[in-house]
Structure 1
Amino acid sequence: MTELPDRTDLFPAGGHRNLAASDDRGLAAWTRVWAELGVRHAPRETFEELIRRYCEPHRAYHNRQHLAECLHVRQLVNAACQAPAEVDLALWFHDAIYDPLRTDNELRSAQWLDDVARDNGLDEETRRRLYDLVMVTRHDGAPATADEAVLVDTDLAILGASFERFEEYDRQIRLEYQYVPLPVYRQKRREVLEGFLARERLYTTAPYFEAFERQARANLVRAIDRLD
């Protein structure tokens, strides 16, 4: 089993600041992903637009903190990928479009990524895989490939964060759905959390399972109890 940092390091406080538009590390990570895909000049305007999107005021959880945490966890949890750069690029876009009042966020995000990928010369097969990677974050079916499994596990890693970070995440989700009356929200949220808890395993890949499964189940039980 790979030795991992504790969950405080996996979900660092203020991690969202690492992806500020002016932060060289964020741009360097963006540029590196495109270079690994064979694109010499990463689309800077798209990077800046993504950061603006992740900073939209209605986002309490699906924001640049979540993006930063996903990219950070992907670096630290060494789950095997067939095309690591494709997984990382899909992570940049997986919540690019987010409106809690809509049900087509993943579709619109996947379409945006496909447009950007096409405009930057990626081939049709690569674009199809990227599209599917974003769409799998709907979490309405099992991952079809190893890379999809890694991306889904990364997106769900927050469930296995420390109690403190998980509780912050839980509050952030409520803020995004503050327009929903509390009794309705509690019922729907319970259904979502119980759906996760009912799974045979939350994490498909062995490294994510070892790192997060036990803590995630404890977090879910605790959150469901609070909804009673």
Structure 2
Amino acid sequence: MGRWGLWSGYVAVALWFHDAIYDVRGKTNERQSADWAIRTLAACKADQATLERVEQLILATKHDATPIRPDEQLLVDIDLAILGARPQRFAEYDQQVRAEYSWVPGLLYRMKRRSVLKSFLARPSIYSTSYFRERNESQARVNLSGIVGPIS
């Protein structure tokens, strides 16, 4: 991953903060996480360019965002890496997601979850970087395809 150079530092900081504020029912988790990152980094005397870049990176992890820059693509791919995990780990992850959303009635959960997973499968590539495409894409498609049918 050496090709990422200075970006890797920004990406690492953004990873620390990107889900720092996480309310399963919340709609502004990324914004709140970015705000907290900015406040924390500003208190540590980070320069304005760092504050802006980390904020942009965190906001790139929103589900409706499209990562454009290479560092955004890397961060989002790291965030999605679990989709390409070994089948047993992916199954555990899927059960953990269901537990997080246990307050959502079963039928509604299945419909929404299926929609989310199908949206990943509909992409030409789940991952934006060649690094993650080469390592995770095939398994991610197997994992997602295996769960789209029997979501419970």
Whether TM exceeds 0.5 here: the answer is: yes
User: What's the counterpart of residue 51 of structure 1?
Assistant: none
Give the TM-score normalised by the residue count of structure 2.
0.96
Structure 1: where are the runs of 5+ without partners? 1-77
Task: Give how far 1:227 is off.
Answer: 2.5
User: What's the counterpart of residue 201 of structure 1?
Assistant: 125
Counterparts of 1:1-228 in structure 2, within 5 Å, are: 78=1, 80-81=3-4, 82-227=6-151
| 1:90–1:176 distance in 2 versus 1, CA, 3 Å | same
Provide the rounded CA distance (Å) in 2 between the counterparts of 1:168 and 1:196.
Answer: 19
Task: Give how far 1:98 is off.
Answer: 0.5
Provide the rounded CA distance (Å) in 2 between the counterparts of 1:113 and 1:198.
Answer: 33
SS of equivalent residue, structure 2 residue 149: helix
Structure 2: where are the runs of 5+ without partners? none
> Aligned pairs, how many?
151
Provide the rounded CA distance (Å) in 2 between the counterparts of 1:157 and 1:80.
Answer: 19
* Alpha-carbon contact 2:83-2:140 (below 8 Å) kept: yes
Moved over 6 A (4+): none
Overall identity of the aligned pairs, in %: 44
Give the TM-score normalised by the residue count of structure 1.
0.64
Q: For 1:80-99, what per-residue CA distance to the aligned partner results, in whole angstroms no more than 9, with x for missing partners?
A: 32421110011011110011
SS of equivalent residue, structure 1 residue 141: coil
Task: Give how far 1:79 is off.
Answer: 6.6
* Alpha-carbon contact 2:59-2:65 (below 8 Å) kept: no
Q: Alignment RMSD, CA only?
A: 1.2
Provide the rounded CA distance (Å) in 2 between the counterparts of 1:130 and 1:220.
Answer: 30
